Amino acid sequence: MIQEKQTEKKVIEKELSFGPVHPALVEPYRMRFFVNDEIVEDCEININMAYRGIEKLFEGLPVEKALLIAERVCGICSNVHAWNSVRVIEGGLGIEVPQRANYIRVLVHEFQRITSHLFFFGHAFEVLGHETFAMRSFLLRENFMDLLQYVGGNRVMPSVPIIGGIRPRADLNESLKKVITERVDAFESKYKDYLNRAVEDPLVMSRLSGIGYLTKEDALKFYATGPTGRSSGWNYDLRREMKEYKPFDYDVIVLNEGDTKARVVSRALEVLESLKIIRQIVKGLPEGPVVNRSWVAKKMDYTVSYVETYRGELMHSYGLDQGGFIRNYKIRTPTITNLAAMEQACIGDHVTEAILTIASCDPCLTCCTRTEVIANGKSRIMSDAEIIQRFGWRK
């Protein structure tokens, strides 16, 4: 019995740890690889480095102010956090949103999906060691950063949605529609060239293919949502069920390979689908008001809202007390499950490839850090300050 256990135990030669300050990471987190020679036998990812106590900040704020914090949860997907934050109260209090506002919300959402995916390519190619492709994707990304600035007024924090609609300054006029159409057309041809170049490059493809396999069972087991799950053959996209996306015609990219290449390619194809949606919005933008201001904050039960973001499924939820102040804000971001899936997927790769595999789920950690202590059947969230005061620094 004891002998059997010993034979089952893996012999690990050494541990390599990277981060939180490291060229392969865009955010502070720490990867610990347990390796034999070059092969990764197991992996641990520590993600608590960016804990800022955001959920506590919301407590007791009026909802209009909460929007400001919600937008600053994350710098890549700022718009979707703001959007989801207002969707909670719109759903909970039954606030009517004009159709034109919904269209423009989706437009900005798709803009940011493209910038986010292009940033992902830049990051993935940087991790691959291919500086030229990384720079080219940053150059392509500038097109949509400009458009975001034209629509929202800021490159990163466009701050378009407010409760009941969008900010009137973000409304589209005819000249802006024309600019968007022109930019999208110019972008599409350049982007297709870029994709062809990348797909035909034998060195790049030899690096990407054959590593980081994530089976459909594992994807379901870890709830790897978004493109990460869809590239493992899990045909699930929340956009199908969102009423904002009902008028548009687009395909959901599902690939069955489940390796790192599939995760990159599925995002590359999603950009083309986003372009389709943007064209439809510009063409069929309905006339009418963009904001409905006839609402008052009142007592609201704990309400949940889900949105399909660029990395997967995002949940925001809160309740309002009698005075209209926020209580019990909760955010659940897709990266936390995706990273857990990647921890599994990178086993068996070389060290250099394992980092690429982890990067291929497009980790976005600024929002997904919290510690939960489960004691006596009750769970509570513990802050970093508490942990360090109680357990001290690592020696």
Partner 1 sequence: MTLKSIARKNAVHVMLFYSGGCNGCDIEVVNAMLSPRYDLEQYKVMLTWNPREADVLLVPGVVTWQMLEPLKKIYAMIPDPKAVVAVGACAVNGNVYKNLVGDIGVNEEIFAPVETVIPVDVKIPGCPPRPEDIIMGAVKGLPKLMGAP
Partner 2 sequence: MDGLLLFIAGLIASSAVAMVVGISFALILPGIERKVQARIQQRVGPPILTPGWWSVLKFMYKSKVEPIAQMPAFYKSLVLIGIVIVSFLLLFVTPYWWSILGWGSILGIAGLLKLEEVLYVLMGSQSQSIMSSSMPVPDLAKGSKFIGIRREFNEQHSAERSLKMMAIGSIPLYLGLVVPFIAAGSGMLNAVVSLQNPDYIVSNWMAIPIPSKPLLFTIPGAMGAIVYFLGFVMLMNEKPFSILKAKIDVIEGGVLEYASSLRAAYYLMRNLLMFSLSSIFNTLFLGIPFDPFMPSMMLINMLLSLIPVVSMATLAAFSPILTFRQIYPAAMGISAFGVLAMILASSL
Binding site for partner 1 (CB under 8 A): 20-23, 25-28, 48-54, 56-61, 65, 68-69, 72-76, 78, 119, 122, 126, 134-136, 138-139, 141-142, 145, 154-157, 325-326, 364, 366, 383-385, 388, 393
Whole-angstrom distance, CA of residue 277 vs CA of residue 262: 22
Helix intervals (H) in the chain? 2-8, 54-58, 63-71, 78-93, 99-128, 131-152, 174-200, 202-208, 216-221, 226-230, 260-283, 335-345, 351-359, 384-391
Q: Is 32 in the site for partner 2 (CB under 8 A)?
A: yes
**Cβ closest to partner 2, residue 145 vs residue 356:** 356
The mark string for 193-212 relative to partner 2 (x by CB under 8 A, - otherwise) is ----------xx-xx-----
Closest listed residue to residue 106, CA positions, set 314, 282, 303: 282
Of 332, 341, 339, nearest to 313 by C-alpha is 332
**Does 136 contact partner 2 by CB under 8 A?**
yes
Strand partners, 39: 36, 350
Residue 121 in the binding site for partner 2 (CB under 8 A): no
By CB under 8 A, name the one of 7, 23, 94, 377 that touches partner 2: 23
Tell the burial category of 196 from Cβ atoms under 10 Å away from its Cβ (0-12, 13-18, 19+): exposed
State in angstroms the smallest separation of the CB of 25 from partner 1.
7
> Looking at 74-82, 130-138, 222-230, 292-300, which segment touches partner 2 (CB under 8 A)?
130-138
Which of partner 1, partner 2, none does residue 42 bind to, with CB < 5 to 8 Å depending on kind?
partner 2
| One of 90, 110, 273, 353 touching partner 2 (CB under 8 A) | 353
Q: Minimal distance in Å, beta carbon 30 to partner 2?
A: 5
| Other beta carbons less than 10 A from residue 238's beta carbon | 16
Least separation in angstroms between residue 390's CB and partner 2 is 12
Q: Is 290 helix (H, G, I), strand (E, B) or coil?
A: coil
Cα radius of gyration (the chain): 22
Q: Which residues lie near partner 2 (CB under 8 A)? A: 12-24, 30, 32, 34, 37-38, 42, 44, 46, 49, 125-132, 135-136, 139, 203-204, 206-207, 350-353, 355-356, 387-388, 391, 393-394
